[in-house]
Amino acid sequence: MRIFKFGGASVKDAAGVKNVFNVLQKVGHQDVLLVVSAMGKTTNALELVIKNYSEKSNEFHASLQDVRKYHNQILLDLFDDEEHDVFFAVNSHFADLEYFLRSNKSPNYNFVYDQVISYGELVSTTIISHYFNAMGLPNEWIDVRNLIKTDASYRDANVDWEKTQQNIVKNLKKKSLYITQGFLGSDENNFTTTLGREGSDYSAAIFAYSLNAESVTIWKDVPGVMNADPRYFDHAGLLHHISYKEAIELAFYGASVIHPKTLQPLQRKEIPLHVKSFIEPLLPGTVVSKGADLDPKTSCFIVKKNQLLLSLSSIDFSFIMEENISEIFMLLHKYKIKVSLIQNTAISFTICIEDTFNHFEDLRAQLSKKFKVAYNENVSLYTIRHFTPEAASRVEQDKTILVKQISRETLQVVTKE
């Protein structure tokens, strides 16, 4: 089986849905599992719904209606008959969502987040499945929450691989076309969980691992994996082949094309990962596979915006030793704050962090009890893999360098622009 993952940009409107259908006509659809994200910016729109709901804002109902109207317009653009079953199916999803929002008693924001945010994927895959059927392409819609089982770490759930594998192998047997949701799973009580933001790539890898798939293809609006993000660098070029090791390094440092969790399960079974263009699907794109290292090694540029540079120093000028560092990392883990760079001296400890869940103020309050705390907001972290002096100069030009760190293969700089 081949696993295809289509992200929100590929299905942002009716034209996008039609294009996915056309891609399958060109590359084949037999023995294929489609993993699909929410349409366009639906996840952001549902995050606004959740925010308004939690804050009891007067904008709550309007923000929810905006999500319904957006999907209804896509339906009207795809289906001539408003009596088509797809309208009932989509309305049923929104009715379930509204019922949850009316009846929920849980004060747990992360729990509420996962129950609400999931409707983006449920609705998008429902629309696509019905459209494909209407176009004469039979498929089976699968609720991924019945297959991928996780713990109850809402918004960043950990997969129960044994149960998940059993479910997938048991339920996906026919050599046909399946359509399911990315990003989602469920806990032992069957409440919806999510696998972390942009986790649809990871979902595709979970299916591939469980099914011993032939390959995974991530369909993007770019030709493949670039050596730099063209939004920030004007010299971006296509990388045709990358090893798992190199791809994992790039993902760790923040390359946005491949989700960090995606590569480990694929590497374990040596399942190749293709990154291809849904605009020009017959182009070769990039392949990530065993032993296909960068040759020659090309400088790869990664930038992470909106980071925090946090500097801690001891109050009494004592050394910051292993015991202190252990305590700091326990707090970082507690508040789910990702560390991207570390630098320390005898009495100071500096880290560049990413506050995905807006817990920095809680972290700072805890750290201030034992350390002097200084920080810079909205800094950028630039990483160059296989750097050269010319590459370094290109990144550092016209920027204020706050921290610089060099290893054999990698240069990292934290800048204030």
240-281 tens-digit pLDDT: 999 988 888 888 888 776 776 899 999 999 999 999 999 999
Q: In this model, does residue 283 exceed pLDDT 90?
A: yes
Q: Which residues are documented as binding site for ATP?
A: 231
**78 vs 90: CA distance, rounded Å:** 13
Q: How many CA atoms lie within 13 A of 118 on its CB side?
A: 25
Counting residues of the chain whose pLDDT is more than 70, the rounded percentage is: 98
Mean pLDDT of 271-300: 86
Q: Are 20 and 41 in contact (CB under 8 A)?
A: no
Q: How many CB atoms lie within 10 A of CB 78?
A: 20
* Alpha helix ranges (H) inside 104-224: 109-117, 119-134, 161-171, 200-211
pLDDT at residue 197, rounded to an integer: 67
Q: Which residues are documented as binding site?
A: 231
> Nearest CA to 216 among 273, 175, 292?
273
Mean pLDDT of 231-239: 87
Q: What is the dihedral of CA 171, 173, 178, 183, to 10 degrees?
A: 50
| Burial class of residue 321, CB neighbours in 10 A (0-12, 13-18, 19+) | exposed
Radius of gyration of the chain (CA): 23
Q: Are 371 and 304 in contact (CB under 8 A)?
A: no
Which residues, in sequence order, are CB contacts of 189 under 8 Å at separation 6+? 152
**34 vs 131: CA distance, rounded Å:** 14
**217 vs 240: CA distance, rounded Å:** 14
Q: Are 33 and 180 in contact (CB under 8 A)?
A: yes
pLDDT at residue 296, rounded to an integer: 53
Domains of the chain: 2-213 (3.40.1160.10), 300-416 (3.30.2130.10)
Amino acid present at 157: A
pLDDT at residue 380, rounded to an integer: 96
Which residues, in sequence order, are CB contacts of 177 under 8 Å at separation 6+? 24, 29, 30, 32, 33, 34, 132, 137, 138, 139, 140
Q: Of how many residues is the chain composed?
A: 417
260 to 6, 9, 94, 195, 298: CA distances (angstroms): 17, 19, 32, 12, 20
Minimum mean pLDDT range among 123-137, 157-171, 246-260, 390-404: 246-260
pLDDT at residue 245, rounded to an integer: 86
pLDDT at residue 254, rounded to an integer: 81
User: And the tokens for 5?
Assistant: 């993952």
**4 vs 179: CA distance, rounded Å:** 10
Q: Are 247 and 258 in contact (CB under 8 A)?
A: yes
Mean pLDDT of the chain: 94
| Range among 60-74, 173-187, 294-308 with highest mean pLDDT value | 60-74
**277 vs 218: CA distance, rounded Å:** 8
CB under 8 Å, gap of 24 or more: what pairs does 202-206 form?
202/259, 202/261, 202/262, 203/5, 203/35, 203/144, 203/148, 204/3, 204/4, 204/5, 204/35, 204/262, 205/261, 205/262, 205/263, 205/264, 205/265, 205/266, 205/273, 206/148, 206/159, 206/164, 206/168, 206/265
Q: Are 404 and 333 in contact (CB under 8 A)?
A: no
Instruction: Please state the separation of Cα 375 from the chain's center in Å.
Output: 27
67-101 pLDDT tens trace = 999 999 999 999 999 999 999 999 999 999 999 99
331-357 pLDDT tens trace = 999 999 999 999 988 888 999 999 988
Mean pLDDT of 188-208: 93
Q: pTM to 2 decimals?
A: 0.86
Please identify which residue in the block is written with the tokens 């001296």: 345
Q: Give kind and range of the element (H or E) at residue 348.
A: strand 348-354
User: And the tokens for 126?
Assistant: 């429902």
